[in-house]
Amino acid sequence: MRRLQPLLLSATVSILTFAGISASDAATPSTRAEAHKLAFAAKAFVLGVHSFHGAITGTVNGVSINEHITFGAQSTQQSFVTNNGLSFNIVYVDATKTLYLKANAASLENTYGVTVSSAATEANRWFILPHNNSNYASAVSGLTLATSTEGMDFGAFTSVGPVTTFHGAHVIELLGKVAASANGPAGNVTLYVTAGLPTKPVAMTQSVASQGSYTLMWSGFNTKVSIATPATTSILRN
């Protein structure tokens, strides 16, 4: 799905995917090993649950982003809103590989290539995005529990910060760097994991001075999830 590119987030991956983080040459082997141990323990925890909620908020290149995604054992629900007029909702059913989409006219036109006249009439209605749609593969990328950590380089965190409090939780900071690339200059990234066992991811913050910053939050691990499948058989056509 072609959406905004939060800092060095891939433009075609799920809410929970980031790229471009590089190891710091200043990190000592022991510090790097401890950071890796905690980061991969957090990843393993995510891959072992049957549900969780993720959210990204922030401002990137002047565009504010508010994205939420709920992962269940059988289906996933996602919402995405920006202050420059893009808005869509997705329900993905893994068993049938069916992706349901409801979007405003701007998203249909700019993201999915729907004509202006069709976008006006098809806005804010549920459609099925067919497998042969050019956006299908990127839209479903990372939309299952098993693939929710795709693209995350948990080995990139190379130093361990202090125990601190983040949104009321006692956490350990794992620190890394965003490598400079064609997408923008270097920056900083921090993964916050629970200070006690089991090691869980709490949040990840990323900032690049000239582009902005965002925060990714994890919550609701193993809570009961109820995601309604939209009652539509209409296929989205370009």
| pLDDT band at 113; cut points 50, 70, 90 | confident
Q: pTM to 2 decimals?
A: 0.84
pLDDT digits (tens, 9 = 90+) for 148-168: 888 777 877 999 998 999 989
Q: Which of 206, 174, 152, 205 is nearest to 43 (CA)?
A: 152
Domain membership flag for residue 224: no
Total number of domains in the chain: 1
| Confidence (pLDDT) at 211 | 83
**β partners of residue 63:** 60
Domain membership flag for residue 4: no
| Confidence (pLDDT) at 15 | 38
Domain membership flag for residue 173: yes
| H helix intervals, the chain | 29-47, 105-112, 116-122, 136-140
pLDDT above 70 for 200: yes
Question: To 10 degrees, the CA torsion angle through 188, 81, 56, 156?
Answer: -50
The whole-angstrom separation of Cα 238 and Cα 233 is: 16
pLDDT digits (tens, 9 = 90+) for 205-229: 988 877 889 899 999 999 999 999 9
Domain membership flag for residue 7: no
Domain membership flag for residue 209: yes
Domain that holds residue 45: 21-219
Output the domain CATH number for residue 169: 2.50.20.20
**β partners of residue 184:** 181
Domain membership flag for residue 1: no
Q: Contact at 8 Å (CB) between 47 and 200?
A: no
Q: What is the mean pLDDT of the chain?
A: 84
pLDDT above 60 for 198: yes
Domain membership flag for residue 237: no
Domain membership flag for residue 84: yes
Residue whose token pair is 């323990």: 41
pLDDT digits (tens, 9 = 90+) for 15-69: 344 434 444 444 556 688 999 999 999 999 999 999 999 999 999 888 899 999 9
| Confidence (pLDDT) at 47 | 95
Q: Contact at 8 Å (CB) between 103 and 88?
A: yes
- Apex 52 CA angle, 228 and 112, nearest 5: 60
DSSP single-letter state for residue 181: B
